Amino acid sequence: MITVHGMSMSGNCYKVRLLLEQLGREYRWNEVDAPRGATRTPEFLAKNPNGRVPLLELDDGRTLPESNAILCWLAEGTGFLPADAWQKAQALGWMFFEQYSHEPYVAVARFIRGWTPADSPRRAELPRLHERGHQALAVMERHLQAADWFSGPQYGIVDIALFAYTHCAADGGFDLAAYPRLGDWLARVRATPGFVPMQANDAEAVARFALAD
C-alpha cells in the first residue's frame, strides 16, 4: 500500500490526498509535524534530501518527492491525465506554472497571514506576493474564457494542483470577486465525484507554526 508523508494543513499535501480519494486508492497517511522539525531529521532526510512534504513511499521503501510529480505518477493511465502527448504536455506546462508562478505567491501569502505573528517582518513581502499572485489568477481567469478545465477536455490533476491554493486564496488576502470564471471553476471542482475538502487549520498547529517562524 502507498504511504503519504504529509501535513494536512498544506495545500501541496492536500493535492495528493484529493487525488487518492477520487481515484478510490487505499493509502496510509503519515502526519508529519514539520514545524517541530520532523522533515529535518536524518531519517526523513534519508527519504527526501530536500526535506519537504508531501513524500510518497512504496512498500519496498522507494520514495517520490514533489507534489506535482506524485500527481503525475498516480494519474498516469487514468482519466485524470490526458493520454494524448500534446495535451499531456499542456497539462505539464500548467503544473510548472502552478509551482513557479502561482504557489510561491498565493500559498506563501496565506502562510504569512495565517501562521506568522502580526508584527513579523515577513509581512513586508505581502504587497509583492499580492501583485504576482494576482497576475497568476488573471492568467487562470483568461484560460477559463475558452475552457472548463485546466487538465484538458476533462477534470484532472492540473485542476487538483491549482485548486489546492486557489480555493483558499482569500486566507492570503486575495479577493476572488474580480475572477468570476475562477469562482465557477472552484464550484465545478467541489462538485466532482469523491471530492474531499482540505482540512481546516488546527489552532494548536497554527500556534506551533508561529513559534517556528
Binding site for its own copies (CB under 8 A): 49-50, 52, 62, 64-70, 72-73, 76, 85-86, 89-90, 92-93, 95-97, 99-101, 103-104, 136, 139, 142-143
Measured CA to CA in angstroms, residue 32 lies from 17, 45, 93, 173, 196 at distances of 14, 13, 29, 27, 20
Give the shortest CB-187-to-its own copies separation in angstroms. 22
Could you tell me the three cell numbers for 78?
487514468
Q: Is 173 helix (H, G, I), strand (E, B) or coil?
A: coil
> Considering beta carbons, is residue 97 or 205 the nearer one to its own copies?
97
Q: Are 38 and 32 in contact (CB under 8 A)?
A: yes
> Considering beta carbons, is residue 180 or 197 the nearer one to its own copies?
180
Please state, in angstroms and rounded to a whole number, the distance separating the CA atoms of residues 35 and 112.
14
Instruction: Give alpha helix (H) positions in 82-192.
Output: 85-97, 103-115, 126-143, 157-166, 180-190
Please state, in angstroms and rounded to a whole number, the distance separating the CA atoms of residues 122 and 108.
10
Give the shortest CB-203-to-its own copies separation in angstroms. 29
> Considering beta carbons, is residue 92 or 176 the nearer one to its own copies?
92
> Considering beta carbons, is residue 22 or 68 the nearer one to its own copies?
68
Give the shortest CB-143-to-its own copies separation in angstroms. 7
Give the shortest CB-207-to-its own copies separation in angstroms. 25
